Structure 1
Amino acid sequence: MPDRRAQLASLQRHLRALVALLRLDADCPWTRHFESCLSRADLLAKSALDQEALNALSGSVMHVFGGMGSFNDYAPWRNGQVIRGMEALDAASGAVYDAALELRRIDV
């Protein structure tokens, strides 16, 4: 059986890193979404965990990835250049997605 607390802690850690990066772009439309997900994760970490709540959090995190107009289309550019400090955005967002997926995964 997976250690859901450890998986949630991993998602929290990755969300914190992603939010810190997104805050470098004051105009980023996605910061608020990931801050909200982080707040939900922090609240969940203080409670008894149930799979339904973890699935809901996972779904909330993951639903902004993919499709036209999604977070995957976000480009951290200012004045024709990548915003300083945002070089790690792809790795950070991938880590968030993977950590959210792990919360949802049920091992049989």
Structure 2
Amino acid sequence: MFGLLKSLINIVFSIVEFLLGIRLLLKLFGANAGAPFVRWIYDTTAPLLEPFRGAFSSPVLEGRYVLEFNTLFALIIYLLVSYLLLEFLEFVRRSSQVHRA
């Protein structure tokens, strides 16, 4: 059971990290927000960034290229959350094995 939970956490957070990474690159390279794929990425990742909205400013470079520090911060936080969840599961697994022995 713990293996399944760990796999699920890894999959979910890997997808989140991947989508946020794509968003960061699209913003950084000044992708056309009107393109369907770009719009889909922005719309899909917007709820993931909501807790971080306004935490940092996003400088615009040369009028088009955006360095979204909120997205970069979110990537770090989601990575940390996934790590902590996996460590917590490992702690619970070890505790349950000790009590069984």
TM-score computed with the length of structure 2 as normaliser = 0.38
Bigger Rg over Cα: 2
TM-score computed with the length of structure 1 as normaliser = 0.36
More helix by share: 2
Flag the structure with more relative contact order, 1 or 2, with Cα contacts below 8 A and sequence separation at least 6.
1
